[in-house]
Amino acid sequence: MIDWWELGVNALWIGGLAIFLAAVSYRSAAKAHAKESAGLWSGEIWPAVGLGLFCLGLGLASEQAWKRGVWLGLLVLCIAQPFISRWAAKRQKSGRKSSAEGDGQVR
């Protein structure tokens, strides 16, 4: 008999890995054609979604609690990654503005 839970969980991590690889491949090709200086992850959500589904699928498929904890912890990091990168970019921009305004002043 078919174990639908295992089928669904395995489809989840395989689909997540496919989304991640497609997003990275697309971004790499677009970067090569556009010759732009943006990084590979620059604000894109799809690699994080793919990795999130991958971690969720493997977390649900794990039988031991510590493995589940590791995969679900990585899931949290995958969800947080786009927000952290946007926060860091905003902080870096504001840092540049304040250092440009503060040139010539002794601190």
Instruction: Examine the pLDDT at 106 and tell me if it is beyond 60.
Output: no
| pLDDT top residue among 37 and 88 | 88
77: in domain: yes
Q: Domain of residue 74: give its range.
A: 4-92
Tell me if 98 is assigned to some domain: no
Please give the Cα distance from 72 to 66 (Å, whole number).
10
Structural domain total, the chain? 1
The distance from CA 72 to its chain's CA centroid, rounded to whole angstroms, is 14
What's the whole-model pTM score? 0.71
pLDDT in tens, 10-59: 999 999 999 999 998 988 888 888 765 555 555 578 888 899 999 999 99
Residue 69 lies in a domain: yes
Q: Is residue 17 part of a domain?
A: yes
Mean pLDDT, rounded, for 76-86? 83
